[in-house]
Structure 1
Amino acid sequence: MTEELRKVLASKITALEEKENAVFATLNAYVSRGDYTSVADTIVELKDMWQDLTTARVTKIIKAFFETIPYCEESFEAILNLLERLITWADSEGKKMLRLDLQCKRIYALLKTGKYVDTIDQVGEVMRELKKYDDKVNLITLHVYESKALYELKNISKSRACLTSARVLAVSAYCPSHLQAQIDLLSGMYICDERNYGVASSYFIEALEGFTLGKLDAEACVALRYLILSKIMANKCDEVAVVLRNKSTMNHLDDRTVKTLLNISIACKDRDLKTYSDVLVTNSDVIGQDAFIYAHMQYLYDALLEKNIVKIVEPYSVVRIDFIARMLCFDVDVIEKKLRKMILDKMVCGTLDHINQSLILHEVKPLHGFAEDCARHIEALNLIASTKY
């Protein structure tokens, strides 16, 4: 295979694009076999095989090649070894910018395979070097990677700080659409965690458009999932249909996670807890793959359960716990535990009668005299002010 490539690259009549395509075909063939050692050998020897190859073109080839590599647990060690060898080679050849770019790709590989601590450890050193060369695009990229890693490690305050740094740099320098889309996606996620779903939706829309513009279908699909999720969480299930009529969403309607979220939106619109629970159980493998969606689905499940309980107990002064459990198709223990929490959170004004296994509801007494109290305090403050001045 290398000999065939050597002949194509040595030819003086073959167009540059054809040579590039031959290189990509050879590298991809090695990747499909899992032979990353041959990938490294081919890239290192590329200059010898292609006499008029420039540094700019080899950098372009390496960047484009790494965008097609499947990052997974099985190939992680091989990809990491490939990057280590290419970093050493680029350093020995004096290609400093290429070396830094490869180091950024190594950080990305660590992030994609869940090595979050290692990701954070390597960001600092590379970032210091990038600042010397004023490489703002890679600096923004590293801030985004660091923010993602810190978020996964539940260090929320630092992850937000890193994202703010990325956003500030993106405003002051050129930022590719796909990178701006990543910033918007993370912004939407962090705002979602604050339960501000309306604002989060606008960020997810921007992320969806940015990824679609950059032809990053997988990332655009994630943005669509989060957009539908934010609409559901904001209790705007009617707007989900409007989202799906958008041209940029048409390619992702067959995605299983999107279909699951659409079924959840229907259940939430009908306040049908049983259907909602069934959808979660049936598609637990899909929901469980995304920690962000899973966390919000659990929160929504609790909120929907509480709303259904309030709806059932509202007409009564005393209601048996097993009656609520039967109406909602839940175990008595689950409902009793939830009622105890709702009473403590003052969502239900009542007490549990453990002898009769029932909930005794009390009349909510409105607070009287609020206006009179305010007037009295204002008068007292006026008196103090007039006495002093």
Structure 2
Amino acid sequence: MSAPAVAQHHHRGSDPNNNNTAEYLNPLELQWERAEDLLADGKRAEARRVLEALVTTAVEADAVEELRVKERAVYRLAELLSVEKDVEALLQLPASVRPFFAQLPKAKTTRMVRKLFDHILTSGAPLERQMEVCHEMIAWARRERRTFLRQRLQHRLAELQFAQHAPQDALSTLQPLLREVRRLDDRALLLDIHLLESRIYFAVHNISKARAALVAARTNANSIYCPPLAQAEIDLQSGVLHAEEHDAKTAFSYLYEAFEGFHQLGDQARQARKALHYMILAKIATDTPDELSALLSSKNVLEYRGSDMDALRGVADAYNAQDTHLFNRIMQENRGAAFLEDDVLQRRLTEMYNSLLERHLLKLLEPYSRVQISYLAELLKLDVDAVESHVSQLILDKKLAGIVDQQHQCVVIFDEQDEKRAKARKEEAAAAGNKEAAGGGAASSSSAATPGMPAMEGEKESTTLYQDALTALEKYDRLVTALFDKANGKFDALVEENMAKRTAGRKDDKNSKKKNDSNTDEKGNEGKDKKNTNNNNRNNKDDNTSGSNNNNNKSSSSKDKDNKKNDS
């Protein structure tokens, strides 16, 4: 088909160099039409060469029609490279069209960069190479002082870091960007940042912050015109959070709105498929198989046929049949599938498997009153320790009335009627114990002293293991309560007696000390008196001796006088 013939079916403008109203096509439009015809004929290689030449063609800044043609050529070339999976050429495309960004309005530049990175993502390019290109574009935007574009590229970098399972790095990139965008009051970018922040917090299991970020995103969406894509992403994140909180019905309604929004956009098949996966799992969790079959056979869902949808159908069948073997077989057959790499999908499937395993266990335990754990493990094709752990969890969650007999490695299931009677008896015993404790507790101590007494008067003794165990526990409970009452009373008496003894001992010690002190004083006084008496006696003796000596002297002197007289 010749160029003039092609030109007859497309828009024509007036030639500025011709006064007549002759119709013509400028060179860029001719190249664009030629590329479209080549693509229609299936000649992708030739069409690619034409589009690459068209993209690198210099255009005047005031040539509106030529700028529009070149813009369409960039988008069409990105689509062609994405279909051909030419990752390297697609990664080099943003750098090759940088001069063209200077001629476009800022809003169109941002939209084009976003579209190019979307095509890079769908082409399966490695995340490391995507981050390299993103860093290069951010550096270029800083040099050119394209603040709005740089902020969008930083948001894209945070998305890539989150996709690379580095949530902390993504948060460290988002926090300064969030403060900067708040100062500029860019509500559209704030909406995208809060949505990404909510997804990151959900990935690190911080549900409260994830919900707060989603509320902030909704607030910004209500203050501006919210594009359909952003609204669908908000609905998707709302459904994910409601599913995490086990509100399957509300989650399904949000996810259905998200799926419809992505589906109607036409170019968001990847996001629509993701929303469809979440929506099917939410419908499975509502236990409505009829509605699920109607959903899977709807027109919009049938457009997304594939191995992933077949796997989810099998999961629904296994969940409705409460068959863990079928569930495990489906997971084994689809191991390594791309759709199972989604973190949200893995979390939902894990919760669904645990719920299915609980149902299967309860179904197996229903006809038994006593069953070996090894037998359950053989039926479930699981380890004995794993089965024992799940049974123990069921008992702790009060979903199963029974005990795990560690000695015999078996599960003992209680009868519901026996359990109700035992519970009523236990409540009555507790009430009676409280009354006895309020009245002094003496009667309960004497009545509970013998562990072999019957449980209650006029009540038939049960012959089941559960009934015997409960009866024994009640008896020992009463006995231990009575013993504690007695022990507490004796202990108080012993404490009082010990304190009295200590007080009396202290008084006796004081009295004995006083007596000892008084005895010591008396002994000291007696010693002093004795000393004084001895001294007095000694003095008296001395006096007597001196007196006798004087008398003797006197007598001797008198005798001398008499002798002298006689001599004379």
Could you say which TM-score interval applies, normalised by the shorter chain? 0.7 to 0.9
1:83 aligns with 2:137: no
Partner residue in 2 for 1:162 = 213
Distance 2:91 2:336 in 1: 35
Deviations 1:14-73, CA, capped at 9 Å, x for gaps: 74443224444666769935257854542333368xxx6555554443343233222799
Counterparts in 2 of 1:292 and 1:106: CA distance versus 1, 3 Å: closer
SS of structure 1 residue aligned to 2:154? helix
Partner residue in 2 for 1:42 = 96
TM-score scaled to structure 2, two decimals? 0.57
Could you tell me whether the CA contact under 8 Å between 1:197 and 1:234 is conserved in 2?
A: yes
Matched residue type, 1:34: E
Could you tell me whether the CA contact under 8 Å between 1:263 and 1:279 is conserved in 2?
A: yes
CA drift of 1:268 comes to 1.4
Could you tell me whether the CA contact under 8 Å between 1:40 and 1:85 is conserved in 2?
A: no
Could you tell me whether the CA contact under 8 Å between 2:94 and 2:116 is conserved in 1?
A: no
1:98 aligns with 2:152: no
Of residues 299-308 and 73-82 in structure 1, the stretch that sits farther from structure 2 once superposed is 73-82
SS of structure 2 residue aligned to 1:285? coil
Partner residue in 1 for 2:392 = 340
Partner residue in 2 for 1:233 = 285
Identity in percent: 27
Partner residue in 2 for 1:116 = 167
Of residues 28-37 and 283-292 in structure 1, the stretch that sits farther from structure 2 once superposed is 28-37
1:358 aligns with 2:419: no
CA drift of 1:232 comes to 1.3
Could you tell me whether the CA contact under 8 Å between 1:321 and 1:359 is conserved in 2?
A: yes
Which structure has the larger Rg over C-alpha atoms?
A: 2
Could you tell me whether the CA contact under 8 Å between 1:207 and 1:223 is conserved in 2?
A: yes
Matched residue type, 2:323: D
Counterparts in 2 of 1:214 and 1:352: CA distance versus 1, 3 Å: same
SS of structure 2 residue aligned to 1:360? strand
CA drift of 1:179 comes to 1.1
Matched residue type, 1:186: Q
Of residues 244-253 and 214-223 in structure 1, the stretch that sits farther from structure 2 once superposed is 244-253
Structure scoring higher RCO (CA < 8 A, sep ≥ 6) equals 1
Of residues 355-364 and 164-173 in structure 1, the stretch that sits farther from structure 2 once superposed is 355-364
Counterparts in 2 of 1:144 and 1:362: CA distance versus 1, 3 Å: same
Distance 1:321 1:86 in 2: 61
Partner residue in 1 for 2:550 = none
Could you tell me whether the CA contact under 8 Å between 1:71 and 1:112 is conserved in 2?
A: no
Give the one of 365, 382, 387 matched to 1:313. Answer: 365
Could you tell me whether the CA contact under 8 Å between 1:8 and 1:22 is conserved in 2?
A: no
Deviations 1:209-231, CA, capped at 9 Å, x for gaps: 11112221111101111111011
Matched residue type, 2:210: S
Counterparts in 2 of 1:354 and 1:368: CA distance versus 1, 3 Å: closer
1:202 aligns with 2:253: yes
Partner residue in 1 for 2:300 = 248
Partner residue in 2 for 1:179 = 230
CA drift of 1:140 comes to 0.4
Of residues 83-92 and 140-149 in structure 1, the stretch that sits farther from structure 2 once superposed is 83-92
Counterparts in 2 of 1:144 and 1:72: CA distance versus 1, 3 Å: farther
CA drift of 1:205 comes to 0.5
Partner residue in 2 for 1:266 = 317
Matched residue type, 2:214: L
CA drift of 1:192 comes to 1.0
Give the one of 332, 335, 355 matched to 1:303. Answer: 355
Could you tell me whether the CA contact under 8 Å between 2:195 and 2:217 is conserved in 1?
A: yes
Partner residue in 2 for 1:294 = 346
Counterparts in 2 of 1:47 and 1:228: CA distance versus 1, 3 Å: closer
1:192 aligns with 2:239: no
**Unpaired stretches in structure 1, ≥5 consecutive residues:** 370-389
Counterparts in 2 of 1:321 and 1:34: CA distance versus 1, 3 Å: same
1:61 aligns with 2:95: no
Partner residue in 1 for 2:559 = none
1:133 aligns with 2:184: yes
Distance 2:201 2:398 in 1: 35
Could you tell me whether the CA contact under 8 Å between 2:249 and 2:286 is conserved in 1?
A: yes
Of residues 6-15 and 352-361 in structure 1, the stretch that sits farther from structure 2 once superposed is 6-15
TM-score scaled to structure 1, two decimals? 0.81
Deviations 1:152-184, CA, capped at 9 Å, x for gaps: 222222222111111121122211111111111
Of residues 286-295 and 188-197 in structure 1, the stretch that sits farther from structure 2 once superposed is 286-295
Of residues 182-191 and 35-44 in structure 1, the stretch that sits farther from structure 2 once superposed is 35-44
Could you tell me whether the CA contact under 8 Å between 1:127 and 1:139 is conserved in 2?
A: yes
Counterparts in 2 of 1:55 and 1:233: CA distance versus 1, 3 Å: closer
Matched residue type, 2:272: A
Of residues 326-335 and 192-201 in structure 1, the stretch that sits farther from structure 2 once superposed is 326-335
Distance 2:412 2:188 in 1: 62
Give the one of 264, 276, 279 matched to 1:213. Answer: 264
Partner residue in 1 for 2:549 = none
Deviations 1:112-159, CA, capped at 9 Å, x for gaps: 333322221121222233233332111100001111122222222222
Distance 1:301 1:37 in 2: 40
Partner residue in 1 for 2:458 = none
SS of structure 2 residue aligned to 1:351? strand
CA drift of 1:204 comes to 0.6
Counterparts in 2 of 1:67 and 1:360: CA distance versus 1, 3 Å: closer
Could you tell me whether the CA contact under 8 Å between 1:71 and 1:113 is conserved in 2?
A: no
Could you tell me whether the CA contact under 8 Å between 1:73 and 1:113 is conserved in 2?
A: no
SS of structure 2 residue aligned to 1:352? strand
Of residues 8-17 and 147-156 in structure 1, the stretch that sits farther from structure 2 once superposed is 8-17
Distance 1:117 1:72 in 2: 26
Q: How many residues align?
A: 366
Distance 1:355 1:53 in 2: 79
Counterparts in 2 of 1:37 and 1:355: CA distance versus 1, 3 Å: closer
Counterparts in 2 of 1:15 and 1:250: CA distance versus 1, 3 Å: farther
Distance 1:5 1:72 in 2: 20
Counterparts in 2 of 1:14 and 1:111: CA distance versus 1, 3 Å: same
Matched residue type, 1:45: P
